[in-house]
């Protein structure tokens, strides 16, 4: 099937140092430009992001610092990319929320006025999510091939949920799943612990997802300017962040978990400040005499008492000096 195009449609995908649109950088960009005549052009470039690539990101896309050390920076390739895209419309997967904003940030940093006026944007993910809706009604129809009677009543919904889970276990019991690190497993099993692990892959601390556990099991912020930092690290550098969150419009359970971490952090601080137990001073010991001396000094002579002056002594002095 050929796309019905009035002008080129540029499908593009980015690999980046992270997921923060404002601060993370592109390390690879691939563009497939579909032309109105049915032909295609492809351009793929790796880019030096001028910052270290976090290991967590490298494990996902396989690009490490040494792979891009000698590549050009985005500023050096920006005009080449802008010329290649030309006046094409843009398409991608989750491109409206991530790829397009990141690309525009990079063009602006490079001083390129990439004109977005009159361009069309096609996000394939949105088509998928809207046509294959992730509602309970859609799940019940897909897995059980039934319609919910009295939908949105609590009893009807919970009964449908129960039967959907039974159908999922049956459908996926031998199905492979590949995670972002390339590990393959069969996670949907008739076992609550296995299902718990699979359905909590993001490891939320507070269920609202404001905080998640990292690979080391540490509570980490999952939003805002401190995203990716552990909660205790943020308390170390900006303790006022705790008060801002406690007073902010966050879920009560998020605040509860935050307070638990705050209390634990303060206890650690107090323990580190606690004075060490005093030790009784040792009784001073007189220094031992040094019997070995490479350059011994002669002992000082004691002065003898002066001899008493006699008449004989006076007579001798007179004879010596002629007096």
What values do phi and psi take at 90, rounded to 5? -115, 145
Q: Which of 183, 185, 136 is nearest to 161 (CA)?
A: 136
Structure tokens that stand for 37 in this block: 């005549």
Q: Are 121 and 141 in contact (CB under 8 A)?
A: no
How many other C-beta atoms can be found within 10 angstroms of the C-beta atom of residue 131? 7
Beta strand 89-92 with 121-123 is: parallel
3-state secondary structure of 291: coil
Q: Give the pLDDT of residue 225.
A: 92
Q: In this structure, which topology does domain 9-128 adopt according to CATH?
A: Nucleotidyltransferase; domain 5 (3.30.420)
Q: Which of 189, 190, 223 is nearest to 206 (CA)?
A: 223
CA distance 143 to 170: 10
Q: Give the pLDDT of residue 204.
A: 82
Q: Give the pLDDT of residue 311.
A: 63
CA distance 17 to 58: 8
Mean pLDDT, 10 residues at a time, the chain of 323 residues:
89 93 92 94 96 92 95 97 96 91 93 90 89 89 91 84 93 90 90 86 81 91 92 95 93 90 94 72 58 50 56 62 53
Q: What residue spans in the chain does CATH classification 3.30.420.10 cover?
A: 9-128
């Amino acid at each position: 099937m050929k796309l019905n195009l009035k002008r080129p449609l540029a499908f593009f995908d980015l690999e980046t140092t992270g997921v923060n649109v404002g601060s993370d950088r592109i390390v690879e960009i691939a563009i497939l430009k579909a032309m109105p005549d049915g032909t295609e052009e492809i351009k793929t470039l790796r880019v030096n992001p001028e910052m270290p690539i976090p290991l967590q990101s490298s494990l996902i896309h396989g690009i490490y610092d040494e792979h891009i050390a000698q590549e050009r920076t985005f500023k050096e390739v920006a005009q080449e990319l802008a010329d290649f895209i030309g006046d094409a419309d843009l398409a991608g997967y989750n491109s409206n929320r991530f790829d397009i904003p990141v690309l525009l940030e990079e063009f602006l940093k490079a001083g390129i006025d990439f004109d977005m006026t009159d361009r069309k944007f096609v996000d394939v993910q949105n088509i998928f999510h809207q046509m294959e809706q992730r509602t309970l009604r859609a799940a019940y129809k897909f897995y059980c091939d039934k319609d919910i009677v009295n939908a949105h009543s609590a009893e009807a919904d919970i009964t449908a949920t129960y039967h959907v889970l039974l159908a999922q276990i049956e459908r996926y019991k031998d199905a492979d799943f590949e995670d972002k690190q390339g590990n393959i497993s069969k996670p949907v099993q008739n076992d609550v612990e296995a299902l718990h692990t699979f359905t909590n892959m993001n490891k939320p601390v507070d269920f609202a997802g404001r905080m998640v556990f990292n690979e080391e099991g540490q509570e980490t912020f999952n939003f805002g300017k401190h995203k990716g930092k552990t909660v205790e690290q943020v308390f170390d550098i900006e303790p006022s962040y705790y008060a801002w969150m406690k007073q902010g419009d966050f879920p009560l359970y998020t605040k509860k978990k935050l307070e638990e971490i705050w209390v634990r952090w303060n206890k650690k601080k107090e323990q580190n400040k606690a004075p060490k137990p005093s030790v009784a001073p040792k009784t001073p010991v007189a220094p031992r005499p040094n019997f070995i001396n490479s350059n011994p000094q002669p002992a000082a002579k004691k002065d003898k008492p002066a001899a008493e002056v006699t008449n004989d002594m006076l007579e001798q002095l007179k004879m010596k000096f002629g007096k």
